[in-house]
Amino acid sequence: MKIIDAKGLKCPEPLMLLHKAIYEANSGEEVYLISTDPMSVPDVKKFCEYLEHKLKEIKESDNLFEFTVIKK
């Protein structure tokens, strides 16, 4: 599993880091993104929907957003 720590970064940087990690990942590999930007939620959802990756999980607590994405 690749882990991306994008805490403190603003849109579009967390999504750009996720895109790079997904590009480098193998099919079926999980990528874990941690972000503090609330705009990451709709961005990651749309990214996964558009590129057909599986958004396995979203967790939110204390302005921390955690995503687990599986590359198609």
Q: Which residues are catalytic?
A: 11
Place of tokens 């990690």: 21
Cis peptide before 12 (omega within 30 of 0): yes
Helix, strand or coil, per DSSP, at residue 60: strand
- Which amino acid type is present at position 51? L
Distance CA 7, CA 27 (A): 26
